[in-house]
Chain A
């Protein structure tokens, strides 16, 4: 198949690392930024910068229009019903923490259950451990099958009438597993639980429709889809968000203030205390425009072709352990036999190939895999078949190098 040809849109990728052309295979950690996003942020600061929702001057209006326009872009992007359901945050972690603090502390009590899976990123695990500690609720985990997927049978065995909240990742950042969110949401709702979805690894790669998924909360980060760091989104159903108290108090989120009390703004602003992340929102809107212009069907096909190609090449090498299911989203987690992933990554880096090595913020999942750490190559719109070839060449070198010294 013909892949997308957009590498030249990403200025960072055009550089030498350790005397080799950079091959960036760490997009699951953070994606590189297209020039249009860099320009949008730069232009915002050059021409439109002002604080939002205050003052009457022209720049203030332009900044407000840009910021609220970005909220409209996100609303349409994930098919939310209303822009008041879109809250700008610092990122996925921050979005999940808002729900844990605001919804969790108010609506979860001793004896309730919070259901997670064994594949959650620390950002969708630790906030719930803390809620359990504060409220006396119990954490339960949907177990994984041998291939790193979950089945609806396990889902049904784990979620009960005591379950108040299900928090689950859409796509695993280690295994690449795509979870059946729609079915889980439907089952959880029948038993009266609300569902939060960690979409950090899904939104960059697939068209997400929160109305179709029918989830109650959906969290994601901008930086993994080409926007700047420090901007993210919490989607929540208005009926729930309206019942929830703000988490951060101060300027911007207030209605009337006296010396001893205050009332708060409506959605979404009651959750956006302080000067918001205006330039970040502008960059996020531009990154979304950029991806939508390419088209998510093309992005998905591109990544699938790259992943399949890399998988077939990896399987031809001896001594490579690959983790995760056959059907996966844009990444391959692996280890070379008898070579620690740090050492693999250092050798790859010496050939200009950037991969992640470590526990990927998933220590319990590493334990489940029975490893202390793994290496991970992740793909995005700008990667090419040649990138995969250079990655495989690098792995051969690593095997040769460590084979020699042993």
Chain B
């Protein structure tokens, strides 16, 4: 393998999100959810504000590798302003993309998330990419129960 394959994994747009994360920080009100990847120690804390079924604000903090933090940055960016339903659809789309399944964007606004497509060729790193999305699903779940 050469840098070509690594370039597939670490595309410029991923590195940009890693180095200049969007929506990094905390929110005073809203819900907070922390999730970690127990096999490697990556940790992500999500802050969501959901009003009338819409994600009106999303921020994250965390420690982790380039893939997990870039994914969190892209996730918060793309779900902000979306309905809860759309956010969950995006999560399903992302999960299918990681598993190499056929995906249909079905009118979804994908933002930068397709840049992470290369991760599917690195099975050991899929968990890094899905951490923030799993946290988002759980946050929405908790909001439903509240």
Contact = CB atoms under 8 A, between A and B. Distances in A.
B19 A406 contact: yes
B113 interface: no
A372 B41 CA distance: 6
B66 A340 contact: yes
Q: How large is the interface on B (under 10, 10 to 19, 20 to 34, 35 or more residues)?
A: 20 to 34
Contact of A342 (B5, B19, B125): B125
B42 A372 contact: yes
B96 interface: no
Interface in B1-49: 1-3, 5-6, 9-10, 12, 15, 19, 39-43
A346 B8 CA distance: 12
A150 interface: no
A87 interface: no
Contacts of A347: 6
Nearest to A358: B40
Contacts of A363: 41
For the complex of A and B, list the 8 residue pairs with the smallest distance between their C-beta atoms, beginning with the closest.
A18-B1, A342-B65, A340-B65, A359-B41, A350-B1, A358-B40, A405-B15, A372-B63
A340 B64 contact: yes
A366 interface: yes
Contact of A405 (B1, B10, B40, B122): B10
B19 to A, nearest CB: 6
Interface of B: 1-3, 5-6, 9-10, 12, 15, 19, 39-43, 63-67, 122, 124-125, 128
A351 B128 contact: no
A347 B66 CA distance: 12
Candidate in A18, A350, A366 with the most chain B CB atoms within 10 angstroms: A350
Nearest to A360: B41
21 contacts: A20-B1, A341-B65, A342-B42, A342-B67, A342-B125, A342-B128, A346-B6, A346-B124, A350-B2, A351-B1, A358-B39, A358-B40, A358-B41, A363-B41, A372-B42, A373-B40, A373-B42, A397-B3, A401-B10, A405-B10, A405-B12
A131 interface: no
Nearest to B39: A358
Contacts of B125: 342, 346
B15 A372 contact: no
Nearest to A338: B19
A406 B10 CA distance: 11
A353 to B, nearest CB: 11
Contacts of B5: 18, 350
A145 interface: no
Given A342-B128, A372-B63, A406-B19, A366 B1 contact: no
Contact of A357 (B10, B19, B40): B40
Contacts of A401: 3, 6, 10
A170 B130 CA distance: 37
Contacts of B63: 372
A157 interface: no
